Amino acid sequence: MSGRRWIAVVLAIGGAGYLVWFATRPPEVVVADLEPEHEAQELEPTLATKEREIPEANVDLPPLDPVALLAEFSSNDFQRQRKAYLLAMTPRPLHYDKPLATWLVAHLKSGGWLTHWGRTLLGKMGADAAEHLRPLFTSDNPHERREALKIASRWKKQGSAPRVNPPLLALLQDGDRHVKNAAWLYAGSGIPYDEEVANHLVSVMEPVNGVGWPGPEIALARMGPKGIARLVALLDDSELVLNALGGLAHAPPSELTKLQDRIAPFIRDEDEEVAVNAIWALAPLEGDSEASIPALAGALGHESVVVLDAALQIFEQMGPRGAKAAPDVLQLLDYDNDKIVTRAAGILGQFKTDPEAVMPALADAAKDDVNEAAAAALGAFGAEAMPHALRAYAEADDDGRYALLLTFRALGPLAKEAVPQLVAAIEGDDAMMQGRAVQALATIGPDAASAIPSIRSQMTAGEIATNTGVRTLMQLGPEGRASVIDLLATKDDKERRDVVMAMSWAYGGTAFALDDLDRIARNDRDTETRRAALQAVYVSMSVPRRPWTNPKADPVLVARVRRILEAYTQDKHKRIRNYAVGALAEMKAKGKN
């Protein structure tokens, strides 16, 4: 038999098998079948439900029926089991049920594909299911011991774990590393201090470069003041100092505040790994107070780039609350490392303190080092930054000027004094300078209307893209919008199409040209141009940069847009007709009818 005939036979057999399966497959159970009386609650879950989260139960909702769930789980039909699981993962309460808990624990023992589902659902039942769990802690099967610990950790987070009371010391000494890790995880969730457990955690520590999770150091840090005291004692051990600092980083901020003087000297340690771990140990203080600022500022004088970067990351997180460190951060603008200078500049822009010293330094960094972060940070100081930006722009070379254009863009209308410089930039030969200058003019707005002739000229010459030019003109007040309408009246089909295309993505900015866009949508010879004109009409109701999401659109504008779109629902071209019908349907769905 030839190869082709063999292929035909195989396909025929496969097709017949599929038809037999399709005809005999069990009926699909919908979620509502589990509890018909609750169908009106509209709690049917979607496949987007996060399977790894236990939702917070809502006592106002009807509880789940454990008998119905057990029937679905034991059906041996994956789709039915999955739907039942997704229903169980909604906010509806799931009370303890002995038969269901017994079935779930049995599948924990099997290690099968329902292991995760059983763990999460037992966790939802809470510690009432503890009687099923306790025997697993002493099981000969390491898989059962590990799963029992994972469930106990979930209950611990729910505040019910003391009722479980696993033999923690024995589990921490387990020969299976997965069980041991799960025991560390449980201990790290916060348990009362136990001397024997603490002694074991210290005994198993090994010198490391940083501390990961789970681990004995973090478990000690979560055991309260006595556990933290054991870590503090290890700070004098040169081999375990990194372990101690890594564990202290997970201690409560209230405890770390008391230890600031003890940890701070390590920030200046010559060993960069010790210094970085000390920085991160003090980092939690930033959420509660400014107590750690002096110590962290001391790290800004360290010779290691790694240490400097770690300390600056903390100040980035602190934002304006770390402004007391501004003098120390300011010194780093002269540092011989672009990454450090960039991070320091950004932080100074967040601080916005000591402007007389900071603004000239940022302007010089943007001018001399072509540091764009410094230019953007300078713009954060507002109108006071303009003299410094103009001075630096006049002194800078082309690269420095390119960076400083970010300052003008960040200042927006406050940068109106820079319009002559921006016009000169768009009339130059550097395409990148032109693009950034045009962006700055758009943010300045109507006060930059004097730039319109230059923008039009460069658009005609092909130096500025139509899309960029049109969107900029639309931001330049009445004169700019009049210029756009003039562009719509062009006789050049391609130019008109490009202008309409640009407007079709200018969310919230096209209401001024509805009549012209309607005329183009009705009369233009190009179907694509007509469709783009209709889209430009539709997006006139939108919020800038957020398409079709303006719940507060002007009712008069909405009615006008609807009337225009309705006129095209019977258009002879299917593409135009479909767009109009779809846009009207979307308006209706969003209440704009």
pLDDT digits (tens, 9 = 90+) for 545-561: 555 556 677 889 889 99
Alpha-carbon span 44 to 440, nearest angstrom: 50
Say yes or no to pLDDT of 37 above 50: no
**pLDDT above 70 as % of the chain:** 83
Over the stretch 253-275, which tens digit does the pLDDT of each residue have? 888 888 888 999 999 999 888 99
* Position 43 pLDDT exceeds 50: no
Helix (H, G, I), strand (E, B) or coil at 498: helix
Tell me the two tokens of residue 164: 């479980």
The pLDDT of residue 544 is above 80: no
Res 524 pLDDT > 90: yes
User: Closest Cα to residue 468, out of 481, 478, 459?
Assistant: 459
Confidence category of residue 45, pLDDT binned at 50, 70, 90 = very low
- pLDDT-derived band at 536 (thresholds 50, 70, 90) equals very high
Q: Tell me: the pLDDT tens digits for 343-361?
A: 999 999 999 988 999 999 9
pTM confidence score: 0.70
Contact 455, 472 (CB under 8 A): yes
- The CA-atom distances, in angstroms, between 172 and each of 147, 192, 202, 519 are 14, 15, 12, 78
Is the separation of the CB atoms in 171 and 146 below 8 Å?
no
Q: pLDDT value at position 155?
A: 79
Tens-place pLDDT, residues 129-159: 888 888 888 888 888 888 888 888 877 776 6
Of 19-33, 192-206, 487-501, the range with the lowest mean pLDDT is 19-33
Provide mean pLDDT across the span 162-186.
Answer: 86
- 8 Å CB contact between 105 and 122: yes
Residue 497: what pLDDT? 94
Distance CA 259, CA 248 (A): 10
What mean pLDDT is predicted for residues 363-372?
88
Q: Could you please report the per-residue DSSP string of 187-214?
A: HHT-----HHHHHHHHHT----SS--SS
DSSP string, 48-95: TS-TT--PPP-TTSPPP-HHHHHHHHTT--HHHHHHHHHHHTSSS---
Task: State the number of CA atoms in the 13 A half-sphere of 428 facing the CB.
Answer: 18
Contacts of 356 (CB under 8 A, 6+ apart): none
Q: Write down the pLDDT at residue 69.
A: 87
- Which contacts qualify for 242-245: CB closer than 8 Å, 24 or more apart? 242/207, 242/208, 242/209, 242/210, 242/211, 242/273, 242/274, 242/277, 243/205, 243/207, 243/208, 243/211, 243/217, 244/217, 245/274, 245/277, 245/278, 245/280, 245/281
d(CA 250, CA 213) in angstroms, rounded, equals 10
pLDDT of 519 reads 95
| Cβ neighbours around 270 below 10 Å, total | 9
Least confident of 30-39, 104-113, 315-324, 548-557: 30-39
Mean pLDDT of 97-114: 76
pLDDT of 423 above 90: yes
Res 565: pLDDT: 94
Do residues 424 and 453 lie in contact, with contact meaning Cβ atoms separated by under 8 Å?
A: no
Report, as an integer, the average pLDDT of 480-491.
Answer: 94
What pLDDT is recorded for position 177? 87
C-alpha 467/C-alpha 501 separation (Å) is 8
pLDDT for residue 235 is more than 90: yes
Mean pLDDT of the chain: 83
Average pLDDT over residues 333-339: 90
Strand partners, 543: 546
Confidence of residue 108 (pLDDT cuts 50, 70, 90): confident
Cβ proximity of 285 and 294 under 8 Å: no
Residue in the structure block whose two tokens are 């330049």: 476
What's the pLDDT at 11? 65
Structure token pair of residue 402: 């390119």
Q: What is the dihedral of CA 317, 318, 322, 325, to 10 degrees?
A: -20
User: How is residue 540 written in tokens?
Assistant: 């006139």
In this prediction, residue 190 has a pLDDT band, given cuts at 50, 70 and 90, of confident
Whole-angstrom distance, CA of residue 282 vs CA of residue 276: 10
pLDDT attached to residue 218: 86
**Is residue 165 scored above 90 in pLDDT?**
no
Calpha distance 480→484 (Å, rounded): 6
Whether 49 shows a pLDDT value over 80: the answer reads: no
User: Distances in Å between the alpha carbon of 43 and those of 49, 138, 214?
Assistant: 12, 39, 36
Q: Is the pLDDT of residue 226 over 90?
A: yes
pLDDT score for 130: 83
Task: Show Cβ contacts of residue 520 under 8 Å, excluding neighbours closer than 6 positions.
Answer: 488, 496, 500, 529, 530, 533
Q: What is the pLDDT of residue 36?
A: 34
Find which of 128-142, 238-252, 420-434 is predicted with most confidence, using mean pLDDT.
Answer: 420-434
Annotate 460-485 with b (16+ C-beta within 10 A) or e (fewer): eeebbbbebbbbbbbbbeeebbebbe
Residue with the two structure tokens 């991160």: 280
The DSSP line for 502-529 is HHHT-TT--GGGHHHHHHHHHH-S-HHH
At residue 198, does pLDDT exceed 50? yes
Residue 355's H or E segment, with its range, is helix 355-369
